[in-house]
Structure 1
Amino acid sequence: MTGHAGIKALVFDVFGTVVDWRSGVARAVEPFLQHHAPQLDAHEFADAWRREYSPSMEEIRSGRRPYVRLDVLHRENLVKALAHHGIDGVSADELDELNLAWHWLDPWPDAIEGLLRLKRRFIIAPLSNGNIRLMIDMAKRAALPWDAILGAEVVRAYKPSPRVYTETAEILGLPPDQVCMVAAHNGDLAAARGCGLKTAFVKRPNEHGPAQTTDLSAAQQWDFIADDFNELATRLGCAV
């Protein structure tokens, strides 16, 4: 692992790295499922909804579909997840309300303290596939102390497309090697490293629940490897 000299900004994956999407979505859909499908586990439904995430973005990354924001994809994916489980007769208003589940997610216990420490020394911003309003709503509810909202909607492309990383660095007015991508996902970091960014892996072994099998450890020798944001802040020389 390398030192932090030269790094001016940290940009963060959000779903899974900063916030616990699985628990938050399950909590939000529980009352709906109690009414429409009481036999269905809320976490199982959250997983089914999330499984549509990457395939829906691939339609855009591949050029088969023009860019649309993640709120649009999430709503379409919700309809697919409901159909998969045989749930029908859901009104448009109910769908819109359920779709807001992604706006109200809770941060991991270390996230706020760690971000505040990192913010004293570095520019910090999300580099998420989430759209701007989603990121704003989440930040305001959870008190995420971002300096800016960056990511997919700003550059109108989805990670891991290279332009998401390179254009984000350009927006910050920095060369890529002065920007560090922070993520709990090895694939995200590999894409960022390929674009010249520094990389920091933060372990989130429960992102997908107790049976998680992916991203349990660093797949490469990333520039920084930490168990949580506070450890990352310490490694980056940020005071408590």
Structure 2
Amino acid sequence: MSALPGVKALVFDVFGTVVDWRSGVARDARAFLVRHGRADIDPHAFADAWRRRYQPAMEEVRSGRRPFTRLDVLHRENLDAVLRDHGLDPAGIPAQELDWLNRAWHRLDPWPDTIPGLIRLRARHFLAPLSNGNILLLANMAKRAGIPWDAVLGAEVAQAYKPQPEAYIRTAEVLALAPSEMALVAAHNGDLAAARKAGLRTAFVLRPTEHGPDQTTDTRAEADWDVVAASFEDLAERLGC
């Protein structure tokens, strides 16, 4: 018996839910900063600073002040700003070096339970990302890490960034499903709230160290989501997979 009867597709938040973005970005930032003589900069703090610019950059698009712009471009612009904040001039760094660091977001590692859990979930459900990431980023990530998506859907598909309702509704339309036949799996209560408002079912998976050992956000389910699980393998168990 599944805790999500009638759900045909599981769609996933990716950054933080499927992959550990903080450790992956910090790993590549450390190598970059050492190469450029700034081993004094904490790479995890650098990753956090880069991530803090994520929502404001997307809000420019969500608000209509800027046309839809894929996340790779927003990340690259944010990288320049974070480098300047840390006393590094991006104009003095070779473009290929900056592009390499920007692609850190393509090289993120999955959480230990991600792949085994997805393999089990895929036996009974169609799986795809519902992420603010762009198609190339998500495809490169999946190819490197062996993430078994049935389709790679980036934000270009919806031409909208979560939590805009179009991000959820247009994904369901692309998959020829009613929103209620699709469930969002996410470690973020706000994402799930927006998905529920758009008519999707919801599954919360706890990721208590997404923001490091002192995380204070999303440390528990904050609503009566359809499913609350400790891991992807726990989710598979609850869905009868």
TM over 0.5: yes
- Does the Cα contact within 8 Å between 1:69 and 1:131 map onto a contact in 2? yes
> Residue 151 of structure 1 contacts residue 168 of structure 1 at CA under 8 Å; is this kept in 2?
no
Distance between the aligned counterparts of 2:164 and 2:227, measured in 1?
22
Instruction: Look up the equivalent residue of 2:111 and give its one-letter code.
Output: W
**Structure 1 position 3, deviation (Å):** 2.9
Tell me which residue corresponds to 2:7. Answer: 7
Which residue of 1 is the match for residue 77 of structure 2? 76
TM-score by length of 1: 0.97
Question: How far off its partner does 1:134 sit?
Answer: 0.4
Q: By how many angstroms is 1:91 displaced?
A: 2.1
**Whole-Å separation in 2 of the counterparts to 1:180 and 1:118:** 12
The amino acid of 2:39's aligned partner reads: P
The normalised TM-score by structure 2 is 0.97
- 1:18 aligned to 2:21? no
Match of 2:220 in 1: 217
**Mapped pair 1:181 → 2:194:** no
SS at match of 1:10: strand
Give per-residue Cα distances to partners, 1:180-210, cap 9 Å, x unaligned: 0000000100000000100000000000000
Do the aligned partners of 1:162 and 1:192 also contact (CA within 8 Å) in 2? Answer: yes
Residues 22 and 48 in structure 2, CA contact (< 8 A), matched pair in contact too: yes
RMSD between aligned residues: 0.9
Task: Kindly provide the amino acid, as one letter, of the partner of residue 35 in structure 1.
Answer: R
Shift of 1:97: 1.0
The DSSP-based 3-state class of the residue aligned with 1:11 is strand
Give the Cα–Cα distance (whole angstroms) in 1 for the partners of residues 96 and 154 of structure 2: 28
Tell me which residue corresponds to 2:128.
Answer: 125
Deviation at 1:176, TM superposition (A): 0.6
Give distance in 2, aligned partners of 1:19 and 1:110. 10
How far is 1:152 from its partner?
1.1
Distance in 2, matches of 1:74 and 1:151, equals 15
- Counterpart in the other structure of 1:50: 51
CA drift of 1:94 comes to 1.2
Q: Report how far residue 35 of structure 1 moved.
A: 2.8
Q: Note the C-alpha offset of 1:46.
A: 0.5
Residues in 2 aligned to 1:212 and 1:16: alpha-carbon distance in whole angstroms: 12
1:1-240 pair list within 5 angstroms:
3-36=3-36, 37-88=38-89, 89-238=92-241
SS at match of 2:96: helix
Q: Is the 8 A contact 2:138 2:154 kept in 1?
A: no
Tell me which moved more, 215-224 or 30-39.
Answer: 30-39
C-alpha separation in 1, matches of 2:126 and 2:117: 13
* Runs of at least 5 residues in structure 1 that lack an aligned partner in the other structure: none
Structure 2 Cα separation of the partners of residues 86 and 116 of structure 1: 44
On the 8 A contact 1:200/1:222 being kept in 2, the answer is yes
Unaligned runs of 5+ in 2: none
Q: Helix, strand or coil: the match of 2:130?
A: strand
Q: Deviations over 1:47-68 (max 9, x none)?
A: 0111100000000000000011
Q: Deviations over 1:99-123 (max 9, x none)?
A: 1100010000000000000000000
CA apart distance, 1:7: 0.5
Structure 1: distance between partners of 2:4 and 2:201: 9
Letter in 1 for 2:28: A
Distance 1:150 1:31 in 2: 30
- Deviation string for 1:129-149 (max 9, x for gaps)? 000000110000000000001
Moved >2 Å (runs of 4+): none
